[in-house]
Amino acid sequence: MNKIIAKENFSEKVVRFEVEAPLIAKSRKAGHFVIVRIGKKGERVPYTIAAANPQTGTITLVIQRVGRSSEKICQLEVGDYITDMVGPLGKATHIENFGTVVCAGGGVGVAPMLPIIEAMKKAGNRVISVLAARSKELVILEEQVARYSDEVIIMTDDGSYGEKGLITHGVEKVIQREKVDLCVTIGPAIMMKFVAQLTKKYEVPTLASLNTIMVDGTGMCGACRVTVGGKTKFVCIDGPEFDAHQVDFDEMLMRLKAYN
Amino acid sequence: MSEYLQAERAQEWREVQRKSMKNKDRTAIPRVKMPEVNPEVRSHTYDEVNLGLTEALALEESHRCLDCVDPTCITGCPVEINIPKFIKNIERGNYPEAARTLKETSALPAVCGRVCPQERQCESQCFYTLKLKKEPVAIGHLERFAADYERNSGHISIPATAAANGIKIAVVGSGPAGLAFAGDMVKLGYDVTVFEALHELGGVLRYGIPEFRLPNEIVDIEIDGLRKMGVKFETNCIVGKTISQEDLKEEGFSGIFVGSGAGLPNFMNIPGENLIGIMSCNEYLTRVNLMQAADPESDTPVYKGKRVAVIGGGNTAMDAVRTARRLGAEKAMIVYRRSEEEMPARVEEIKHAKEEGIDFFTLHNPIRYEGDERGRVQRMLLQRMQLGEPDQSGRRRPVAIEGDTLWLEVDEVIVSVGVSPNPLIPQTFSGMEVTAWGTIVVNNDTMQTADEMIFAGGDIVRGGATVILAMGDGRKAAKSMHAHLTHPL
């Protein structure tokens, strides 16, 4: 049982929670995720950790209402408890001074990107963050991202904020302008697919953080399997980050619809 | 040990029982048959298939046991249950004492009485099997009877524990290896904490073995017994992730037992295997057993295929195919590359599956899957096989019959071709030696790893075995860790 300490509605669809989880807060690193279950009939759902504070013993999750399970969590209030939470899971992001890193986060994917932006900046990288959303209300965490970024580029589908256009336009502009050593992308699978296509064209090494269907999250079930470089990998223990140019995004998109 | 057995056997009541009936009359009694639910009825419910012996049946069967001078049956039991003692207690009608005898050495008697392959263990070493060439005493059925009788009586005995010695011991994983280890250590007075990664306890007993073979309630009650003996349990805690090896040392744990299991499913790496509707047996059984996905109230979904193929011939394959039947499969099939004779599954499981209308495609091996436009599996290409020379396992090797293939329509496929050790502990622990297959290397006599404070057992060492072998490892590790902590070399 993990107590909810704070709740903030970023938008109608996106909620930020701060949850008591002292052991996870202490041991997690950028890129790690947790598995969360609400209620005795609840399913196990993975969420990437957006932030952690070992002093207060809390972690931050940013959750978008997309289905029954995320809806259940979003209905919880401060003082309520999350029935089960386990983590940190997955492999941590490999952080080093690459040079210039473009962090391309779409929608709620900006939340799990935040600790990577912070870690990349602290490792000495020049960090350019490209944040994309459908419209202005859905742009999240801009201020926190700006704190650790040398530049923030905002893209919206409808042009209501920043520049009008897709995330790939923002990323391409940077690549054409200066040498980029690494791109990290987190967001909807379809978005990551197009970012990967773009950066492959320019031969910019790219990591994508995948969020697939999982059950246990510890390598036990294989529900999360993806094809990377022609080989089957488990997102939970081999990932969640993979070489985006090797990921079979079409298969991943298909498998995400397994229970729709 | 044998002195203890002889002293027990020499007790007056045992002599009285032995003399109460001539051996000739005992051996003339036919072996009891386990009452079962009708196959047609049971293939639509999750209720337990084996009903358990009635008191009358158990009493009759107990008279078959000759209380041998040299009880060879015990040598066949990985946890060395005093088999004649518990059976003779049944014979004299002292069922609670029979249950207490089981608990002298077994942490989970009601579980073992249900899932142990007794035909390959105690019963294979029974005097009836070895010398009389008759059907062995139904030791497993009697074990279950004694454990169930005690549980149903409402007076569950809690084994005595030594005075607390204050020494903290950590157990990684709450499956059969960890529970057996924890039970023995708490009896010796240790302060035992079991860490479990999932939100429920029991490991494979919970997520793997289905309700119709091992009801969850049985697992709950056995774990509750350990809790009453003083074992502490922490769910949602992954040693190596949530807390590190160093954290455990800092918190004063003097010994660690790793029983993290074989939680990594193998796939065959054939074309189309990632199509929707194809999954590992672990995923399928975890959804149904741990997450109760068949319950309409559960948020966890599960496929309810109409034409379901399960690839493999082990006990897990039988569990999966029988589960598929219960979830409404019109055609539930086992696809196995060797013949029935080579199947690793227990004879009882194969028999139950056949009674429930499962189709067996033996000497068939899938080589490709194809799906519809949405990526859902539609059909599988099977390669016909024949048996060749024996391989390293001693079983005849399956060889493809070139060009002899057939397509089979399926809408769900469950891959049950073995598991590999869970990599989390080997990846995150230092000081242990790990094989190329990911199993932890131990001294086979002591279960001690290269790190003298860490012991290991069960599937993380064996790479995929049985509940009772895991429990045997747990007991062995407890004995040697106790020796190590009291008389370090």
Reported as a single tens digit per residue, the pLDDT across A213-231 is 999 999 999 999 999 999 9
**Across the interface, do A220 and B297 touch by the CB < 8 Å criterion?**
no
Nearest by CB: B423 against A44, A219, A259: A219
Q: Is the pLDDT of residue A210 over 80?
A: yes
Q: Is the pLDDT at B425 greater than 90, yes or no?
A: no
> A86 and B237 in contact by Cβ < 8 A?
yes
Out of B197, B292, B374, whose CB is closest to A218?
B197
Quickly state the pLDDT bin for B35 (edges 50, 70, 90): very high
Q: Tell me if B180 sits within 8 A of B219, measured CB to CB.
A: no
Residue B371 CB partners (closer than 8 Å, separation 6+): B272, B275, B276, B277, B377, B378
Contact status of B428 with chain A (Cβ, < 8 Å): no
Contact at 8 Å (CB) between A183 and A54? no
The answer to whether the Cβ–Cβ distance between A87 and B422 falls below 8 Å is: no
Beta-carbon count within 10 A of A231 CB = 10
Choose among B235, B264, B291: nearest Cβ to A43.
Answer: B291
Searching chain B, which residue's CA lies closest to the CA of residue A41?
A: B298
Predicted confidence band at A121 (pLDDT cuts at 50, 70, 90)? very high
The average pLDDT across B413-434 equals 88
Q: Chain A closest CA to B222's CA: distance in Å?
A: 21
- A29 neighbourhood in chain B, CB within 8 Å: none
Are A236 and A89 a contacting pair, CB within 8 Å?
yes
User: Rounded to the nearest 5 degrees, what angle is found at the Cα of B398, between the Cα atoms of B395 and B404?
Assistant: 160
Chain B CB contacts of A254 under 8 Å are 276, 374-375
* 3-state secondary structure at position B204: helix
Location of structure tokens 């492959």: A200
In 3D, which of A148, A182, A186 has the Cα closest to residue A167? Answer: A186
Across the interface, of A88, A216, A237, the residue whose CB is closest to B423 is A237
Burial A140-160 (b: 16+ CB within 10 A, else e): bbbebbeebbeebbbbbeeee
According to the model, what pLDDT value does residue B157 have? 87
Query: Per-residue pLDDT tens for B283-292?
Result: 999 999 999 9
| Neighboring chain A residues of B276 at a CB cutoff of 8 Å | 254-255, 257-258
B197 confidence band (pLDDT: 50, 70, 90): very high
- Is the pLDDT at B360 greater than 90? The verdict is yes
- Distance (Å) from the alpha carbon of B371 to chain A's nearest alpha carbon: 11
SS (H, E, C) chain A: CEEEEEEEECCCCEEEEEEECHHHHHHCCCCCEEEEECCCCCCCEEEECCEEECCCCEEEEEEECCCHHHHHHHCCCCCCEECEEEEEECCCCCCCCCCEEEEEEEHHHHHHHHHHHHHHHHCCCEEEEEEEECCHHHCCCHHHHHHCCCEEEEEECCCCCCEECCHHHHHHHHHHHCCCCEEEEECCHHHHHHHHHHHHHCCCCEEEECCCCCCCCCCCCCCCEEEECCEEEEHHHHCCEEECCCECHHHHHHHHCCCC
Phi first, then psi: give them for residue A111, nearest 5 degrees.
-65, -55
Task: Say whether pLDDT at B90 is over 70.
Answer: yes
Instruction: Report angle CA B419, B424, B430 to the nearest 5 degrees.
Output: 125
Mean pLDDT of chain B: 93
Question: If you average pLDDT over residues B444-451, what whole number do you get?
Answer: 94
pLDDT for B129 equals 95
- Output the pLDDT for position B427: 80
What does the pLDDT average to over A25-29? Answer: 95
C-alpha–C-alpha distance, residues B269 and B278, integer Å: 12
The yes-or-no verdict on residue B423 having pLDDT over 90 is: no
- Between chains, do A216 and B267 touch, taking CB under 8 Å as contact? no
Closest Cα in chain A, distance from residue B198 (Å): 7
**Over 70: is that where the pLDDT of B489 sits?**
no
Quickly count: other Cβ atoms within 10 Å of residue A201's Cβ: 10
* Residue B356 to residues B38, B41, B141, Cα–Cα distance (Å): 9, 9, 21
Q: B339-371 burial, b if ≥16 CB within 10 A, otherwise e? A: beebbbbbebbbebbebbebebbbbbbbeebeb
Handedness of CA A133, A137, A138, A140 (dihedral sign): positive
Could you say which of A68, A86, A222 has the minimum Cβ distance to residue B299?
Answer: A68
pLDDT given at position A206: 98
∠ CA B185-B186-B191, nearest 5°, is: 100
Chain B residues in contact with A39 (beta carbon < 8 A):
299
Q: Which among B242, B277, B291 has CB closest to A86?
A: B242
Q: What is the mean pLDDT of residues B150-165?
A: 91
Of all residues in chain B, the percent with pLDDT exceeding 70 is 99
Calculate the alpha carbon distances from A202 to A74, A124, A205, B197, B278 in Å.
40, 23, 9, 42, 36
pLDDT tens-digit map of B300-358: 999 999 999 999 999 999 999 999 999 999 999 999 999 999 999 988 899 999 999 99
Mean pLDDT for chain A overall: 95
Chain A contact present for B270, CB below 8 A: no
- Which residues from A are below 8 Å from B282, CB to CB? 220-222
**C-alpha pair distances (Å), A16 with each of A74, A147, B68:** 9, 19, 69
The whole-angstrom separation of Cα A50 and Cα A14 is 13
pLDDT band at residue B79, thresholds of 50, 70 and 90?
Answer: confident
What are B346's two structure tokens?
């227990």
- Adjacent-strand bridge partners of A156: A133, A164
pLDDT higher than threshold 70 for residue A22 = yes
Q: B456: which 2 tokens?
A: 């290991």
Residue type, A146: A
pLDDT band at B395 (very low <50, low <70, confident <90, very high): confident
Give which of A33, A66, A81, A220 to mutate to test B binding, by max B Cβ within 10 Å: A220
CB of B239 less than 8 A from some CB of A: no
pLDDT digits (tens, 9 = 90+) for B244-272: 999 999 999 999 999 999 888 999 999 99
A222 and B282 within 8 Å at the Cβ level: the answer is yes
Where does the pLDDT of residue B76 fall: very low under 50, low under 70, confident under 90, or very high at 90 and above? very high
Give backbone dihedrals phi and psi of B196, rounded to 5 degrees, phi first: -120, 135
| Chain B residues close to A222, C-beta within 8 Å | 265, 267, 279-280, 282-283
Backbone angles phi, psi at B131, to 5 degrees: -110, -40
Residues of A in contact with B304 (CB under 8 A): none
Distances (CA, A) of B486 to B188, B210, B254, B475: 11, 40, 12, 17
* pLDDT of res. B244: 92
Of A42, A223, A258, the CB nearest to B299: A42
Q: Residue B18: what pLDDT?
A: 95
- Three-class DSSP category at B95: helix
Chain A residues close to B238, C-beta within 8 Å: 86-87, 89, 218
Q: Which residues of A touch B (CB under 8 A)?
A: 23-24, 27, 37, 39, 41-44, 68-69, 72, 83-89, 215-216, 218-223, 225-227, 232, 237, 251, 254-255, 257-259
Sign of CA dihedral B228, B232, B233, B234: positive
Could B374 and A37 be called an inter-chain contact, meaning their C-beta atoms sit closer than 8 Å?
A: no
| pLDDT > 90 fraction of chain B, expressed in percent and rounded | 84
The C-alpha atoms of residue A138 and residue A123 are separated, in whole angstroms, by 29
B402 Cβ partners below 8 Å, 6+ apart? none
Taking residues A232-241, report their average pLDDT. Answer: 94
CB atoms within 10 A of CB B11: 12
The residue behind tokens 């990577």 is A116
Looking at residue A109, its pLDDT comes to 93
The band of B405, judged by pLDDT with boundaries at 50, 70 and 90, is very high
pTM recorded for the entire structure = 0.92
Residue B1 in this model has a pLDDT that exceeds 80: no
Check the CA dihedral B400-B401-B407-B410 and report its sign: negative
Whether residue B238 and residue A89 make contact (CB cut-off 8 A), yes or no, is: yes
Closest-CA distance of chain A to residue B193, Å: 16
Q: Give residue A91's Cα distance to chain centre.
A: 14
Give the 3-state secondary structure of residue B237: coil
What angle do the packed helices B55-62 and B139-153 form, to 10 degrees? 140
